[in-house]
Structure 1
């Protein structure tokens, strides 16, 4: 996948997203959506995992906010192990059109509706 606007130079998509663990509007801040996801990388020692919300110029027709699952790969790759990695993200303020989220990885994506 090509580099996105909010992607740092040394970041890449994680291989796959396994689960959207948390998706909630915080009680103490009603305008903040918090998300956490678990994914898998192709080797050990990936660092600085994060979920980056896509900036929408116009509301998406499906009401789904996309998040890119990025992390920084190690200098050398040992593909004998495919460890899990976790990341967090947020949207502040919560868009009025929001109906759910989609987390994008290199090989797949997952969606979850807002409860």
Structure 2
């Protein structure tokens, strides 16, 4: 497992379910072909962050063996069941070279 090269954007959707779920969709770039199992790994805190932003690392499994080296797109998504909506203000996704933030106020609500 390794961090991807760069995060491009994040899309948040608050699912109208019971309990509520937050769908996090992240798009990024990797430096070669053959990356597999992309995922968003949450950071764990003793106390929820005072800024209300939950951090995730955008990681994937790097290629094994020979690969070619064009810049390639990669996507990961995560469903967060019952997020602390009273404290949560946004999501921050980190890569090897940058991070991107998206705020809950701009998240789309989707009925399930």
TM-score class, shorter: 0.7 to 0.9
> Which residue of structure 2 lines up, in the alignment, with residue 28 of structure 1?
17
Supply the distance in 2 between the matched residues of 1:69 and 1:77 (Cα, whole angstroms): 23
3-state DSSP of counterpart to 1:26:
strand
Q: Does 1:102 align with 2:92?
A: yes
Superposition RMSD in Å: 1.5
User: Does residue 80 of the first structure (1) align with residue 69 of the second (2)?
Assistant: yes
Q: Is the 2:19–2:81 Cα contact (8 Å) retained in structure 1?
A: no
- TM-score by length of structure 1 reads 0.83
Kindly indicate which of the two structures has a greater share of residues assigned to strand: 2
Pair 1:49-2:38 in alignment: yes
Q: In structure 1, what is the Cα distance between the partners aligned to 2:8 and 2:65?
A: 24
Q: Kindly indicate whether structure 1 or structure 2 has the higher relative contact order, using CA contacts under 8 Å at least 6 residues apart.
A: 2
**1:65 alignment partner, SS class:** strand
What is the TM-score of this pair, normalised by structure 2?
Answer: 0.85
Distance 1:54 1:31 in 2: 20
| SS at structure 1 position matched to 2:16 | coil
Tell me which stretches of 4 or more aligned residues in structure 1 moved more than 2 Å.
Answer: 28-31, 76-80
Give unmatched runs, 5+ long, in structure 2: 106-112
